[in-house]
Structure 1
Amino acid sequence: MTMRSTTFLILHGFQNRRPPAHWQHWLAGRLRERGHEVRYPQLPEPDAPVLGDWLAALDEHGARPARGEFVVLAHSLSVLLWLRAGDRRPAADRVLLVAPPSPAVTASIPEIAAFADGLDLTEAGLDARLVYGDGDPYCPEGADLHYGLPLGLDLDHVPGGEHLNPDSGYGEWPSLLEWCEDPTVRIKGH
């Protein structure tokens, strides 16, 4: 039995320098151990990101592999990057959007406000799954209300998950690893 070749593109958020305690770092390591190709780029200027530079990085790292499945996982501000990319989005087989900040919160932070400008939440045909926790200080009204329902996304709710980052206890995240290898798995908390 041959294992299907999968390439994962993991995109981080605002002020993230890919710390070892983050689930994205942990996930990249586990996926590589299992023989998958993993692209986990440091996006430019994470403390003062420029949308155009992040879009260029998405162009650079998002080339679809010649064969096999291509899976994109975006956390926090990179969810808005993915949404803003529009026609520039790479052709992915699966997309996971995790804990996006609300448009209002994004607009209130000068360093990232441009990511909220012109954000179209009426786009039809966006095929992705949204994972969100309640109590997320960056999306207090709920990512399901801001993104999931308007975009018709498949939803996985993590009770008490907050921003689904190390501050809310998300370093190791076994169900997320399971989903990476089996898209029928529902993502849950610890």
Structure 2
Amino acid sequence: MPPRRPSRSVPTVVIPGWQGSGQGHWQTWLEGELRAQERQTLRPAFADLDNPDLDDWLTALRASLADLPADGYDVVAHSLGSVLWLHHVAGPGTSPRAARVLLVAPPSPHTTIPEVAEFFPPPLDIDTVRRGADGTVLVAGDDDEYLPEGIAAAYGLPLKMATTVVPGGGHLNPDAGYGEWPAVLDWCRRDNLAFY
């Protein structure tokens, strides 16, 4: 059920993935666009983006959420940041609940990349994900090399969650042409949960 709000003026928490989302990444572009509209954006202060540590990343995420109003902020996560969100909501319930969550291009739960091994497999519990936000949606490319089984099989069906597949979207990163991404800005501007 989408949150009921007359307009989107809530803060947006941007959770980057492994190696971050620096200049040229749609998350960085999104932050600039939202700030230009006088929208607050927050990004967890991870100690090391190149060598992710699950405990450090969880601590940084929870610190960035601590002062936000329950049901009064959105989350936009990419790649490993999406997996981090699943760990967060499965943990102790000390952070305020999000209004809406957009999980973009989470890698396959069967990922075996050594540098991020402790993040996998992620917890895929329907109830904890539903408790973590008023609504959560998944978006991924149909040809994401990090998600060969597809977003529906990997996450949508296990979590009974709405999915949007982007034809030819790859990993939905700058290498796939996603430096500016108007669709995600549109999602942040409107109230309904559906991505398109």
Asked whether the two chains share a fold, i.e. TM above 0.5, the reply is: yes
The number of aligned residues is 183
Comparing 86-95 and 53-62, the one that deviates more: 86-95
Which of 71, 74, 77 is the equivalent residue of 2:77? 74
Q: Which has the higher contact order (CA 8 A, sep 6+)?
A: 2
Structure 2: any 5+ residue segments left out of the alignment? 1-5
Question: 8, 17, 20: which is aligned to 2:12?
Answer: 8
2:118 is the counterpart of 1:114:
yes
**Aligned-partner residue type, residue 109 of structure 1:** I
| SS, match of residue 141 in structure 1 | coil
Residue 103 of structure 1 is matched in structure 2 by: 109
Provide the secondary structure at the position in 1 that maps to 2:115. Answer: coil
Q: Can you list the C-alpha shifts for 1:125-155, whole angstroms capped at 9, x where unaligned?
A: 5231001111101111112211111101121
Q: Secondary structure of the residue that 1:6 maps to in structure 2?
A: coil
Any unmatched runs of 5+ in structure 1? none
Runs of 4+ in 1 over 4 A off after TM superposition: none
Deviation at 1:25, TM superposition (A): 0.2
Conserved in 2, the CA contact under 8 Å of 1:178 and 1:185?
A: no
Q: 1:32 maps to which residue? A: 35
**Residue 165 (1) aligns with residue 165 (2):** no
1:184 aligns with 2:192: yes
Q: Taking structure 2 as the reference length, what is the TM-score of the superposition?
A: 0.85
Q: 8 Å contact 1:102–1:138 — kept in the other structure? A: yes
Question: After superposition, where does 1:73-152 map in structure 2 within 5 Å?
Answer: 73-85=76-88, 86=90, 87-88=92-93, 90-105=96-111, 108-117=112-121, 119-124=122-127, 126=130, 127-152=135-160
Amino acid at match of 1:179: W
* Separation in structure 2 between the aligned mates of residue 44 and residue 74 of structure 1, nearest angstrom: 17
Instruction: Give the distance between the partners of 1:12 and 1:145, measured in 2 at CA.
Output: 23
Q: TM-score, normalised by structure 1?
A: 0.88
Alignment partners' CA distance in 2, 1:63 and 1:144: 31
Residue identity matched to 1:137 = E
CA separation in 2, counterparts of 1:120 and 1:152?
14
